Amino acid sequence: MKQEKALVWFRRDLRDHDHAALAAALSRSASVYCVFVFDTTILDDLPSRKDRRVHFIHASLLELDTALRARGGGLYVRHGRSEAEIPALARELGVSAVYCNRDYEPAAKQRDATVATALTGDGIDFHALKDQCIFDGEEVLTQAGKPFTVFTPYKNAWRKRLTSADVACIHSEGGLAAPQEDAPPSLESLGFATTDLIALGIHPGMSGARRLWDDFRAGRIQRYGSLRDFPAIKGVSYLSVHLRFGTISIRELVRHALAAEAESWLNELIWRDFYFMILDHFPHAVEHAFKPEYNAIRWDDWPAGLTAWQQGNTGYPLVDAAMRQLNHSGWMHNRLRMVVASFLCKDLGISWRHGERYFAEQLNDFDLSANNGGWQWAASSGCDAQPYFRIFNPVTQSEKFDPEGKFIRRYVPELAKVPDKYIHAPWKMGRIEQEAIGVIIGRDYPAPIVDHAAAREKTLARYAVVKKAL
């Protein structure tokens, strides 16, 4: 027998199809309301009122509201603390249950526990379902029944466990209830302003995700493995922000990756599951090194070095181009995320926590699990089996992945006239050559902030403390 009323709480799942919580609520309830909360606990800490992510969410909600209204429903939109807003709306509507999709961040888990307790006190059920990943909880474990801490064995176990049912589309049919209020409030009424999303070619919502997905799977998905590391080439999907906010279903992407035998692309999606799992089982990684012995490392306090890295003025063209891409667009190519992270930690000797924090502020697709996992991978303090001395050479990375300097010249225009021979290390040009093209190193473009070879030796010495701790 169906419950009379239910409430679906949308969070990072801003679509009306292939949606676990919505489907469950509709299958069990005669009438289903929908809500999104602009949570002030999160919003109040944002440094800028022109935050592209808030703009993206708001625009995606407008599209979601339209889609839900076409089905007879619509969105309630609240602005406040979820811990207060969700129980209050549930009581106001007289629902029997609240449904949502699970979140794995420690703060989100605590929030959901608080909401669940309040609802239970009012006699309202709380249901959290799996939606933003393929496997979660204890679905993929080692033979000893423990969470994996290394990716490759996790991937193999993930693939072995996978069935067609795990990636099947979750259809939802049933009675949506219209909200007793107009369309969602304006972005301005929430205290935020519109941004340059559209100018940057970032189209929010389900339609924006569909546009990118159709373009990617039309051909590039088959060449992803060979193109993905070259930032000057259109080789990746650009779907990360849509996956972050759930305007497209992970199940659909995995289904197509399997059908297309796109192994490299599939591996990236499995990495996403892996980092969710790590954050869920090892929340200490948010504040500390995943491997405790790496907490013994003593990082340099170098504010000027950090600022140079943030602004893209290190004197290493590929690093600078990547950071300027981030500052300009809120996005960075994945290969370059590894390069700049390695440079901060192992060339500049600055803690990964500073880089993680800066990425969290700047990335449109910021996700705590992937961001923390990626930074700890680069710092060698994370959950991977590679040796602690993994150090990227910023020049050889540049030569290999931007061989003609096309990406560098796009974001570091002051180097536009530098010959290909020197584009990766312009300080090697002689004075006469510099004057001939009007690019004086140290005046028109910074000299290298550190010597990579010397920095590498310093890093090896810095990490020696880890050997002593083992």
Strand duo 75-80 + 3-10: pairing = unpaired
Question: Which one is catalytic: 267, 327, 334, 393?
Answer: 334
331 counts as catalytic:
no
Cβ atoms of 266 and 257 within 8 Å: the answer is: yes
Non-local CB neighbours of 226 within 8 Å, separated by 6+ positions: 235
Question: Which one is catalytic: 9, 271, 309, 331?
Answer: 271
The residues with which 441 forms a beta bridge, in sequence order, are 445
375 counts as catalytic:
yes
Question: Which one is catalytic: 252, 299, 399, 414?
Answer: 299
**Within 13 Å of residue 143, how many CA atoms lie on the same side as its CB?**
2
Place of tokens 């307790």: 117
Three-class SS state of 382: coil
Question: Which one is catalytic: 139, 252, 268, 293?
Answer: 268
427 counts as catalytic:
no
Which of 368, 436, 365, 397 lies closest to 57, judged by CA? 365
265 counts as catalytic:
no
Non-local CB neighbours of 12 within 8 Å, separated by 6+ positions: 101, 103, 132, 244, 245, 246
Run of H or E including 86 = helix 82-93
271 counts as catalytic:
yes
CA distance 116 to 31: 21
Question: Which one is catalytic: 9, 352, 371, 377?
Answer: 352
Catalytically annotated residues: 268, 271, 299, 334, 352, 375
